[in-house]
Amino acid sequence: MNILKGCWTILAWCLASQAITGCHRGPYIPVETPTSGTIHISVDESFKPVIDSQLKVFESSFPDAHVLIDYKPEAACLRDLYSDSTRMIIITRGLTLKEEHYFNDSARTPAVSGVLAFDAIALVVNNHSPDTLMNMDEVRALVEGKDKKKRQVVMDGVSATSTVRYVLDSIVKGDTLGKNVIAARTSPQVISWVEEHENAVGFIGVSWIGDREDSTALAFLKKVKVVGIRCNQCPDKPFVYPFQYNIRFNRYPMVRGLYYILKENYSGVGNNFVNFLVNERGQLIFYRAYLVPGRMNFDVRDVQLQQ
């Protein structure tokens, strides 16, 4: 009887222990919440400066929420989303209707998308280049290899990147790129190539050079010059630069959006990061990076300067 009583005592302790630990076997795996946990996301490399700034503020506000970012070409970001190796990407377009149907009907998790901000494709030239003003006909001839000055074009890749897709869709409109177009791996490498080659013209996202308070952007601006593009509907100034005012009011011709696409049908870190990006603090970070916020009003006021 004493042996049987001892067995019942041991069993009682085991049951109590399982109740305390939630009947859990193996290592404890914490449940993700909006403010705690880890998410891997893929982001278009063109936007690394501004997304790095967003991440710094987000993780300082939510120290237990971690966003691990892989910067890569746009097409690679989309592949990650389709293969379920990530549940969030940030690229220069939202979901197409066909993609919405796929994620809603065929994929394991529905996807949503929305605009975050607007930026522009900036053209940069060597500091010794006299070609600091162009019109869009000249830009098109340049990327088609029909440039009379035989200038070289350098982009962050010749395929699969958002910059190349924009050039193909919006400038050459389906035609092929010229043999004078070469590829660099990253936007900083585009700037370095232009710095070293007087006849080169670089195509980059404006966030790499737009923030005049960022030491990296200021360093880049010392290496190259930004090209002004003719604005056909601007009576006040025939050539404009990719500044916020010109982006917001369609004065600068080469503007594109920045979008998030998220597959997270629960309240996790991904949803919290999106909420941060679309609300006031995230939008102000886009504004300070010289992009145009996609969710905030952009007011223009007339002022008089007194000397």
Question: Cα(197)–Cα(176) distance, rounded to whole angstroms?
Answer: 24
> Which of 192, 221, 194 has the alpha carbon at shortest distance from 290?
221
Residue 274 has a pLDDT of 98
In this prediction, residues 52-58 reach a mean pLDDT of 96
Task: Identify whether 137 is part of a domain.
Answer: yes
Q: Looking at residue 211, what is its pLDDT? A: 61
Is the domain of 161 the same as that of 272?
no
User: Are 133 and 200 members of one domain?
Assistant: yes
The CA-atom distances, in angstroms, between 250 and each of 63, 172, 233, 241 are 39, 19, 9, 11
Question: Same domain, yes or no, for 92 and 138?
Answer: no
At 191-237, the pLDDT tens digits run 999 999 999 999 998 888 866 566 655 566 788 999 999 998 888 88
pLDDT digits (tens, 9 = 90+) for 112-166: 999 999 999 999 999 999 999 999 999 999 999 999 999 999 998 777 789 999 9
Residue 194 placed within a domain = yes
Q: Residue holding tokens 């990253």?
A: 186
Largest alpha-carbon pair distance within the chain? 104
3-state helix, strand and coil shares in percent for the chain, rounded to the nearest 5: 40, 25, 40
pLDDT at residue 182 is higher than 80: yes
Residue 173, by phi and psi: left (phi above 0), alpha (psi -120 to 50) or beta?
left
Q: Do the domain assignments include residue 71?
A: yes
pLDDT tens across 275-284, in order? 999 999 999 9
Name, in order, each residue with C-beta under 8 angstroms of 95's C-beta and a sequence gap of 6 or more: 103, 111, 112, 113, 261
Q: In the structure encoding, which two tokens stand for residue 149, read together?
A: 């000055």
Nearest to 113 by CA among 105, 103, 122: 103
Same domain, 44 and 96: yes
In a domain, 82, yes or no: yes
Please give the Cα distance from 40 to 268 (Å, whole number): 12
pLDDT-derived band of residue 265, with 50, 70 and 90 as boundaries? confident
134 with 250, same domain? yes
Per the structure, the complete domain to which residue 267 belongs is given by: 37-117+257-293
Q: Give the residue-averaged pLDDT of 97-116.
A: 90
